[in-house]
Amino acid sequence: MKIKINYLFLLIFTGSMLFSCGKSEKVKNEKVYVPEWAKGAVWYQVFPERFRNGSPTNDPTKEEIRLNDPRDWQMTPWTSDWFAMADWAKVRSDNFYDAVFDRRYGGDLIGVTEKLDYIASLGITAIYFNPIFEAWSLHKYEAESYHHVDDNFGGDRDGDRKLMDNEKKHAESWAWSSADSVFLDLIKEAHKRNIRVVIDGVFNHVGRNFWAFKDVLKNQKDSKYADWFIVHEWDDPNTPEDEMKYDSWWDTWHLVEFREDENGLIEPVRKHIWAITKRWMDPNGDGNPEDGIDGWRLDVVPEVAMPFWADWGAFVRELNPEAYIVGELWEESAHYISNDKFHAVMNYPFARAVVNFFIDKKENKLSATEFSQKLDTLLQVYPWDVMLGMQNLVDSHDTDRIASMIKNPDRQYDRNAGLRDNPDYDVTKPTEEEYKIQLMIAAFQGVFPGAPMIYYGDEAGMWGGDDPDDRKPMVWPEFTYDDETYAAVGLKDVRHSVSFNHKIFAEYKTIFNLRKKHPALKTGKYESILVDDDLALFGLMRFEKDDLIYAYFNNSDKPQTIKLPQEARSLSDVLGHSVMATDSTIILKKKSAAILVK
C-alpha cells in the first residue's frame, strides 16, 4: 500500500529520519546478516484475488463484499473485457472507475498452488504475497483477522466463516480453518520446489470489521479492547447517527489505526502481533520453522515507531534466524537496516533510475553516464550483503505496469499513472517495439546486484495503468480472452487482443533462470564496463571466482557495434539479440540487451 504523498511523508517523518541519520553511517559499516537464500533471490509478487481461481465454490458473495444495495451483483468472468461494464455496474454509475472496485474474479490460494510449477519455471525462488488475511476488499489491506486466511482463498468458505464467527479470540483458542490449511499446504508445496514464501504484514491499521474493533463498535468505551484504538468521540445510542470519531490511516474511515506510544504499538496490541507472528512462522509450535512462512513484507513502515520494528524484528529472528524482513519504503532508508530490524527494503530508487534511463525521453531522461553514476550511488547506500537482498522491482500493485510505463514516458515515477488522475494516460496495448524495451529492462533486473522482483503477469505481457488497472486477472495461456475495448473510458473504435505472450515469457525464463546456473549473478561483484552517452550504450560485468558474466544494453534506436574485452570474446549471448561482427565485436540490435555467458 503506497503512501499517498511521498513528499508529505518525508516531512511528517523528518524528526524520525534526522534522529536516524546519525545511525546511518553506523548501519552502513555494520555487518548485517542477510539469509543466504535471500541474496540474489528471484521474487514473484502475487496479488491473490487476481492470480488464479482454483475453486469457484469459495467465490465471494454479495454479502461478503458489503454490497447492501439492490444491485444484481455477480462475479466478473475471468476472461472478460477489462473495460466492459456489467449491467450491475452501470446501475451505480456511467463512470468505469466508480464500480470497478466492487468486482471480484475469485482468485484464491488453491489457484496459486496449482500454478507453482509455472512460477518455478520462471526461475523464481521466492514469492511475495499481497495480504492474504480475512478482509472484505479485493486487496485485503483492511484485515478483519490476522490469524485466519481469507475464507474466499480456501476450500470451505461457509465453514470458515462459521468458525471465525464462533471462535474465542484468545490465541490459545484459535483453530485452523480450511483456508489456513490451504495456505500451509501451499507453503509445503512451495518449499518442495525450493521457493520461499513471504507475506504482507499490515500492522499499522485494520478494518472496521477487525474482531477487536467490532467489539469496540458494539460495547463502545466498555469494550475490553477500547484502549487498542484512539477514539476521540463515542457513539450516542440515543441518536440514529454514528458519532464515533477515531484515528484512521490517512483519514480513511474504514482503515482504523492501532494506538501507539513512543515505543510503537501499545502492549496489548504487541502481544497480539507477537502471537500471530509465531502462528504463521511456526504453525505447529514445535520450534522448527520449516512448516511456516519464510519472512514478512511490511506495509507503511514509517507509520509505526522504530522501537516496535526493532523489538518485533528481534522476535522474528528468535523464531527463525533465516527469516527475511523487507519494508515498504519508497526512498533510501539505511536507518531501517540492522540486525534487529530489516534485512532489505523494496528498492524503489532502483525502479526510478531504471525508468529514467530505459524509458524516459525528455527532461527526466538519464544519460548512460548519469545512469552509471546513479547505480554507483545506490550501491553505496547499504552494505553489500544487504544490496544483494534488496528487492529490485520496477512495478508493483502500487504502480502502473512496466509495459504501460513504457507507453507513457516522461512522468515522475508513480505520478499521473492512470486515467483516474491523468486523462492523457494511454491504457491501450503496448506495441512490439515497446515490449522490446520491457525485455531490455527485465535483462537489466536479471543481471544487476540484488534480488529482482517480477509483478505477476509482466512475464505474460500484461499491461495497465495504476490501481485498479494494474490488478487485472492474470492472463493464462490455456484461456481465451475477450478483446479489450475502451469505450467505457472514452476511446471508441479501439480494440486489442488479449492473450498470453509466449515470446516475452520465454525470454523472462531465460533471463531469470540464469541465476540458478551462475553464482556471479546472485552474489558476484559488479563493475560498469561501458558507458557511451552518444550511442546510448551501457555495459556491466558480474564476476565470482571462475564465473564471469558480461551484459550490454543498447538503448538507442539503431543497431550498435560493441567492442568486447578479450575475456568476453569466447562467451555466447543467451538472448540472441546480438551477432558477432568480427572476432572482437558484436552488433547489438536496437532497444535490446545481450547477456554473455560461458
Tell me, letter by letter, the H, E, C secondary structure of 463-483. Answer: CCCCCCCCCCCCCCCCCCCCC
pLDDT score recorded for residue 187: 98
Residue 516 lies in a domain: no
Classify residue 144: in a domain, yes or no: yes
Q: Same structural domain for residues 251 and 300? A: no
Residue-wise pLDDT tens digits, 343-391: 999 999 999 999 999 999 998 999 999 999 999 999 999 999 999 999 9
Q: Other CB atoms closer than 10 Å to residue 408's CB: what's the count?
A: 18
In a domain, 514, yes or no: no
List the beta strands (DSSP E) in 146-213: 196-201, 205-207
Per-residue pLDDT of 173-182, as tens digits, reads 999 999 999 9
Asked if the structure places residue 364 within a domain, the reply is: yes
Q: Please determine, for residue 412, whether its predicted confidence score (pLDDT) is greater than 60.
A: yes
Asked whether residue 228 falls in the same domain as residue 199, the answer is: no
Q: Residue 511: inside a domain, yes or no?
A: no
Q: Are residues 362 and 324 in the same domain?
A: yes
pLDDT tens readout for residues 265-299? 999 999 999 999 999 999 999 999 999 999 999 99
Domain of residue 247, residue span: 212-257
Report how far residue 206's alpha carbon sits from residue 188's, in angstroms, rounded to the nearest whole number: 28
Q: Is residue 297 part of a domain?
A: yes
Of 506, 534, 566, the position where a domain reaches its end is: 506
Residue type, 14: T
* Residue finishing a domain among 444, 473, 506: 506
What's the confidence (pLDDT) of residue 488? 96
Residue 68 pLDDT exceeds 90: no
Q: What confidence category does residue 213 fall into, taking pLDDT thresholds of 50, 70 and 90?
A: very high
307 and 429, same domain (yes or no): yes
- Backbone φ, ψ for residue 163 (5° rounding): -60, -45
Residues 488, 427, single domain; the answer is yes
Question: Where is the domain boundary, 449, 474, 506?
Answer: 506
The answer to whether residue 60 is domain-embedded is: yes
pLDDT band at 6; cut points 50, 70, 90: very low
Residue with cell 489491506: 141
Q: What CATH number corresponds to the domain at position 217?
A: 3.90.400
Beta bridge partner(s), residue 34? none
Percent of the chain with pLDDT over 70: 94
Is the pLDDT at 536 greater than 60? The verdict is yes
pLDDT band at 155 (very low <50, low <70, confident <90, very high): very high
Same structural domain, 337 and 426: yes
Please name which of 552, 596, 555 lies closest in space to residue 572, comparing C-alpha atoms. Answer: 596
Amino acid at 131: P
Residue 452: name the closest of 408, 495, 396 by CA: 396
* Nearest alpha-carbon partner for 529 in 564, 573, 581, 556: 564
- Helix, coil or strand: residue 288: coil
Res. 321: pLDDT tops 80: yes
Beta bridge partners of 207: 255
Number of domains, the chain: 3
| Mean pLDDT score of the chain | 94
Residues in the chain: 598
Question: Do residue 55 and residue 115 come from a single domain?
Answer: yes
Residues 465 and 578 in one domain: no
Cα distance between residue 260 and residue 203, in whole Å: 11
DSSP state of 201: E
CB contact at 8 A, 350 and 356: no
* Residue 23 falls inside a structural domain: yes
* Beta strands per DSSP E along 463-598: 484-486, 491-496, 525-532, 537-544, 547-554, 560-563, 572-573, 578-580, 585-588, 592-597
Residue 534 and residue 387 share a domain: no
435, 400: one domain: yes
Contact 152, 178 (CB under 8 A): no
Those residues with Cβ within 8 angstroms of residue 544's Cβ, 6 or more apart along the chain or in another chain: 519, 520, 523, 524, 525
Same-domain check for residues 39 and 63: yes
Is the pTM of the predicted complex or chain greater than 0.75? yes
**Confidence label for 170 from pLDDT (cuts 50, 70 and 90):** confident
pLDDT of residue 64: 86
pLDDT of residue 164: 96
Nearest to 295 by CA among 397, 195, 393, 147: 195
What was the pLDDT predicted at 72? 86
pLDDT, position 70: 55
Question: What is the pLDDT, as a whole number, of residue 315?
Answer: 98
Task: Give the CATH number for residue 529.
Answer: 2.60.40.1180
Q: What are phi and psi of 552, to 5 degrees?
A: -130, 145
User: Are both 252 and 266 inside the same structural domain?
Assistant: no
